[in-house]
């Protein structure tokens, strides 16, 4: 797997890759490969390795922004923290919502137990978490949704799907019925970061084959299917 073949956007300060599912952004405890093992191939003439600006879960594929210098990293990080970044995700749910669109506003907090480990839960005292959603298609007893999160909390869409809509994302091993051999069906399809002087960073990741394998087609206007 060559991440240099999965470039969605590239200029002097920014790089967006189509991260494959199964690749963690941060080095895992088990010592398996992560984004760090690929950073040297993403220098494209720069001496520094690019720096990830945000995180996608191991199972989540799609648009991942990296900064090519520390100043850009700081600006992009502030844009994410200030809710100035447009993000779109696709998810397949283990069920069909009763309406076709809406907004989920559920604050999230972290909990941990010795038996089950840590997870995110709805917590009135937690951090604000807002996700807008619309239903794109239905196949059998599953639905393809597009999420537009305003905030970027850990596991936000996974918890909002379960607690806000009543159905987990297909394959989710923590909040759904997935296991160790399944992949959570979540894909970061579009990312837009506005900049003061330079043109906006706009990246779109193709509809993944794993979604097509469950009977869904790419939404109208989406990039061609890709594994």
* Under 8 Å between Cβ of 83 and 192: no
- Output the pTM of the full model: 0.93
Q: What is the pLDDT along the chain (227 residues), one digit of tens a residue?
A: 789 899 999 999 999 999 999 999 999 888 889 999 999 999 999 999 999 999 999 999 999 999 999 999 999 999 999 999 999 999 999 999 999 999 999 999 999 877 768 899 999 999 999 999 999 999 999 999 999 999 999 999 999 999 999 999 999 999 998 776 788 999 999 999 999 889 999 999 999 999 999 999 998 867 666 54
Catalytic residue of the set 57, 59, 100, 141: 57
In whole angstroms, give the CA distance from residue 118 to residue 108.
13
Its CATH class, for the domain covering 3-212, is alpha beta
* Under 8 Å between Cβ of 192 and 200: yes
| All structural domains of the chain with their residue ranges | 3-212
Active site residue 57: yes
* Under 8 Å between Cβ of 206 and 222: yes
* CA-closest candidate to residue 89, choices 36, 126, 144: 144
* Under 8 Å between Cβ of 73 and 49: no
CA atoms within 13 Å, Cβ hemisphere of 141:
5
């Amino acid at each position: 797997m060559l991440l240099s073949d999965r470039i969605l956007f590239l200029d002097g300060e920014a790089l967006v890759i189509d991260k494959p599912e199964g690749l963690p952004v941060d080095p895992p405890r088990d010592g398996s490969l992560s984004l760090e093992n690929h950073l040297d191939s993403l220098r494209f003439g720069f001496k520094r390795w690019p720096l990830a600006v945000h995180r996608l879960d191991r199972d989540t594929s799609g648009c991942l922004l990296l900064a090519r210098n520390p100043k850009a990293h700081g600006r992009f990080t502030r844009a994410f923290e200030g809710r100035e970044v447009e993000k779109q995700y696709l998810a397949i749910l283990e069920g069909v919502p009763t309406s076709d669109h809406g907004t989920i506003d559920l604050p999230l907090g972290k909990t941990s137990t010795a038996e089950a480990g840590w997870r995110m839960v709805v917590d009135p005292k937690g951090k604000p978490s807002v996700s807008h959603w619309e239903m794109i298609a239905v196949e059998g007893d599953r639905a393809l949704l597009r999420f537009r999160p305003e905030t970027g909390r850990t596991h936000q869409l996974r918890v909002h799907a379960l607690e806000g809509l009543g159905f987990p994302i297909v394959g989710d091993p923590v909040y759904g019925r997935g296991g160790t051999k399944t992949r959570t069906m979540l894909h970061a399809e579009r990312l837009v970061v506005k900049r003061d002087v330079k043109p906006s960073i706009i990246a779109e990741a193709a509809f993944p084959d794993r979604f097509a394998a469950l009977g869904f087609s790419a939404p109208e206007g989406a990039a061609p299917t890709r594994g």
